[in-house]
Structure 1
Amino acid sequence: MVPHRWHILFLVCTAQFMCVLDDTIVNVALPSIQHGLGFSNANLPWAINGYLVTFGGLLLLGGRASDLFVRRTVFLAGLVVFGVASLACGMSQGSAALIISRAAQGIGAALMSAAALAILTVTFTGAERNRAFGVWGGLAGAAGALGMLLGGILTSVLSWRWVFLINVPLVVVVAVMSLRVIPRARAQQRPALDPLGAISVTGGLGLLIYAIVHTEQAGWGSPVTLACLTGAAVLLAFFAVAESRHSAPLIPLGVFRRRNVSGGVICGILLSASMLALFFFLTLFMQRVLGYSAFENGLAYLPMSLAVVVTAAMSAQLVGRFGFRTLLVAGFVLIAGAMAWFAQVDVDSSYVTGLLPPALIGGAGLGATLVSVITTVTHDLSGEGESGIASGLVGTVQQMGGALGISVLSTIAAARTDSAMADSLGTSAALVEGYQLAFYTAAGVAVAGVVVALLVVTRPVVAAEKEGASHPAPAPGA
């Protein structure tokens, strides 16, 4: 029994909320940032991508550091870097300074997020862990939607600088409370460094994410994209070889032979690819086609946010009764249905009949699937020295999946829009055709999640089965 464990949950969830919030809170402030700091159209996306590249590229390293060193120390280090970088973002006087500060923010977020989930995993066990994951998943999902509302409010009432500065007081409060509440403990093993593994996987993932986000501007066939993809492949191949020979690897490759780890990772990528793409395209549709303001756009996401929170809390209870595979399948089915509904939008769609119903369905699916993905991966990675590996994997696949989904679906949507405009359709109608195809494709991604959950993820014995059987149930899928 860990003292103050629910206080610990509050602290680590607040930290994760800040990390996810900064994925989306900047979106609605981009026009003001461009005007204030003189960003070019080509460089403006890097106000977001600078954060994404370092956050996604360093999560595995942050997770492993949480296993090797004092978890609280790694968590606090991430908090400090994140807070200082947030202050630097808010005080930036030029585009280059903001991009560099955003990259530093991503470094802090990677350490903070990975350590936070590792702390949560070792603090809670059994049914309490499921409830904790429910809170974690619900807040993480809601943060993505609430970020756009909060960004619109802060930009309209105060200044774009406050989308970054709001982190500073939160960081101070969380850091002070963490020193009092979170135990100073680490995994019971001798710390060992894996510098080649850290450099190669961080560089490889960083180049891969850079290549993915670069395709939004230059396409998949550009020399820069191809060079980055080649470099990523070389570095990740080197990482695989180095890890197989190291006595204390950054991530033991053998963990991927565990079906719930590999299945959970794939499901996590598919989830992020579909849902972050939904936020991206739905935001564009509401502002470019329906003419919503930034504030109205953010307000429209509130019902979805509430659906995520409520469903995540319910899923935390249901996962112990029905198992995480059942919740994964149900969540992906709901997401696929919501995407197919969103694909019916047109220039005359109303919010009440055209957007609100699928938003509630998609939010419910996101809440259920977020909790199930975390539970699936950590189910087989809960042993000594493995909590950081699990947290690094969960965070990395979320960033990678989101970047991949937005990039690929943006290319598909843009191609369809260009084709429609060539057929003499108006701008709004052409945009709608692109968004419709993107939503249909995202629905297909969610269907792939159903297939992976059914064929790869195993079905653990749940509480109801244990009570009615005198012997363990046969192996899932047997």
Structure 2
Amino acid sequence: MALFYAAAPPERHAEIINEVYLNTNQTSGGALRKACVLLSACLIAVANPLAFTGPAVAIPTLGRALEGSSLELAWISNAFMLAFGSCLMAAGALADTFGRKKIFLCGSCALCIVSAALAFSPNLFTADLLRAAQGVASALAFSGVMAALAQEFTGPGAIRAFSVVGTSFGIGLAFGPISSGLMIAIFGWRSIFFLAAVLAGAAFLLGTGVVRESRDPDAAGLDWKGAVSFTAALAFLTNGILVAPAAGWLAMPVIVSLAGALLLGAVFVLVETSARRPMLDLSLFRIPRFVAVQLLAAAPAYAFVVLLVLLPIRLVGINGMSELKVGWIMMALCGPLLVLPLIAGLLTRWLSSAALCGTGLMLSACGLLWLGRWAGGEAGPALIAPLLLIGIGISLPWGLMDGLALSVVPRERAGMATGIFNTTRVAGEGIALAMVNALLVALLIPRFDSLLPEAPSSASAAAQRLAGGDLAGANAALNASSPEALTAIYQSVFSLLLDVLSAIAAITAIVIFIALRGAGRTAELTRSSNP
């Protein structure tokens, strides 16, 4: 450029300087805009786990503050996860069809408004409806901004950008419980919903100016029949699982819910097999390793995610700890996600993905078994150490799963594979929460039946109250025991539940190691570093 400047006639010097200055500003301005788009994605990535873990810490408090049934209390967590998981693929299709920026802005604006509205919920039923709306808004915001981000970064830059977003998600998980506990301690339970609202609002304001609009010119629109049947099937299934422990598996509401889930599931399969551009390409499930990856996607649900809900309920509602203290304790469980997923990616240079994922799940299984031996009392090493082991174990496959989802399918089907994988992961978390809660209630009822054989309905009501962390309500329903006795019963059942989860995690670890040997080479894994 200096030689060109010197060779040019003097009257051209000013023009050349202006051109260089303009190009430099455009380059630096483009880099700044991309950084702001990345920041918008990170804000949404932090807001999503906050929207999930915040209410989990507050569930015992919500049960005492708002009127409603135990089933409505269980839906506080399940409504969000179910709506978020079932709408992810549909939200991605909407973003491709109508515009990524438009869907992102609509989702982040709705997430801000609904999260703020949750703070003013008059009862649990209203809170459940708003939690479902919050899940839909989160799916729109997340799918829109991630699709927009993919248009801004390519090659190694994309790897780094998505890695930063994944780390942001880990930050939300790690600091969600402690921030929510602190907010509850200072301002009360209603304040926790404003955390997600502020982050979503900031993402909306920032994204309005920096995110560029883009569409897929070949998009075929949303598969409405597939989206509606899939979401409805999940809703019926979750409701049936939650209602069954109290009503009985042969009760009419349970039979109707489960039959409806089966029927709608069959409708979904028929719709997707006949659609020209299906939302879910079922032929991918003919690939054995792809099926194994879906099993891996579901593994964190019962080896880690359920603890994000169950453990705060136990520590706050049963053991009587403060929400702030529980938030600090949960750091031992979530903290490893801040660092270890990135380290696991580096370890793939020397170790296979199958070995890392299998080892991680086996460590989580050992941690669950160890945690089941904690008998309550002070939150010392007997509680912190197994939580840390579970967090370390789940962090190893966390950063590799997205890459494995892509490495086991043909390259041209990578987009569909990612959509299926994320839906399996998030929807699986909602189903796992429902099943674990149902199992906990089912294990508690026989213990209370022996205390009140003449009043089985009271035993069922007490079991649901205790599973929701309402120790006083359970004691009042039984009217024949003491809080200490109920705490001992809960501890024994909780230990048995963790043993079951540990066994499932161990079996999954073995299956994953065998099924995925040779899959997910380093070259493939570098395509995705998003934990």
Aligned partner of 2:529 in structure 1 is none
Matched, 1:212 2:226: no
1:132, distance to aligned residue in structure 2 (A) = 4.8
TM-score (norm: length of structure 2): 0.77
Aligned partner of 1:175 in structure 2 is 204
CA contact (8 A) 2:303 2:394 kept: no
CA contact (8 A) 2:184 2:324 kept: no
Identity of aligned residues (%): 23
Which of 1 and 2 has greater Rg? Answer: 2
CA contact (8 A) 2:91 2:140 kept: yes
CA contact (8 A) 1:56 1:205 kept: no
Tell me how far apart the structure 2 counterparts of residues 128 and 330 of structure 1 sit (CA, whole Å): 30
CA contact (8 A) 1:187 1:385 kept: no
Aligned partner of 2:437 in structure 1 is 410
State the secondary structure of the residue aligned to 2:119. helix
State the secondary structure of the residue aligned to 1:170. helix
Change (3 A) 1:430 1:33: closer
Of stretches 453-462 and 98-107 in structure 1, the one that deviates more from structure 2 is: 453-462
Change (3 A) 1:31 1:357: closer
Change (3 A) 1:316 1:175: farther
Aligned partner of 1:472 in structure 2 is none
CA contact (8 A) 1:87 1:164 kept: yes
Aligned partner of 2:495 in structure 1 is 436
Match 1:353 to one of 365, 374, 381: 381
Aligned partner of 1:471 in structure 2 is none
CA contact (8 A) 1:57 1:206 kept: no
Tell me how far apart the structure 2 counterparts of residues 219 and 116 of structure 1 sit (CA, whole Å): 43
CA contact (8 A) 1:277 1:405 kept: yes
Change (3 A) 1:413 1:49: closer
1:300, distance to aligned residue in structure 2 (A) = 0.8
**Where in structure 2 are there 5+ consecutive unaligned residues?**
1-26, 452-480, 526-531
Deviations 1:400-458 (A, max 9, x none): 32233333333444444455564999322221111111111111121232133223335
Tell me how far apart the structure 1 counterparts of residues 256 and 417 of structure 2 sit (CA, whole Å): 30
Aligned partner of 1:16 in structure 2 is 45
State the Cα RMSD in Å: 3.3
Aligned partner of 2:510 in structure 1 is 451
Deviations 1:91-146 (A, max 9, x none): 33444433332221121112223334445566556666555555444443453453
Tell me how far apart the structure 1 counterparts of residues 130 and 183 of structure 2 sit (CA, whole Å): 20
Change (3 A) 1:408 1:87: closer
Instruction: Show the 5 A alignment for 1:277-316.
Output: 277-288=306-317, 290-316=319-345
**Where in structure 1 are there 5+ consecutive unaligned residues?**
467-478
Instruction: Show the 5 A alignment for 1:269-284.
Output: 269-284=298-313
Change (3 A) 1:380 1:8: farther
Aligned partner of 1:369 in structure 2 is 397
Instruction: Show the 5 A alignment for 1:228-239.
Output: 228-239=257-268
Aligned partner of 1:223 in structure 2 is 252
State the secondary structure of the residue aligned to 1:91. coil
State the secondary structure of the residue aligned to 2:235. helix
1:246, distance to aligned residue in structure 2 (A) = 1.4
Instruction: Show the 5 A alignment for 1:5-404.
Output: 7-34=36-63, 36-119=65-148, 131-132=160-161, 134-215=163-244, 217-218=246-247, 220-288=249-317, 290-319=319-348, 322-348=351-377, 350-379=378-407, 387=415, 389-404=416-431
Question: Which aligned runs of 4 or more in structure 1 are off by greater than 6 angstroms?
Answer: none
Deviations 1:245-272 (A, max 9, x none): 2111112212223445322222111221
1:361, distance to aligned residue in structure 2 (A) = 1.3
Tell me how far apart the structure 2 counterparts of residues 115 and 219 of structure 1 sit (CA, whole Å): 41
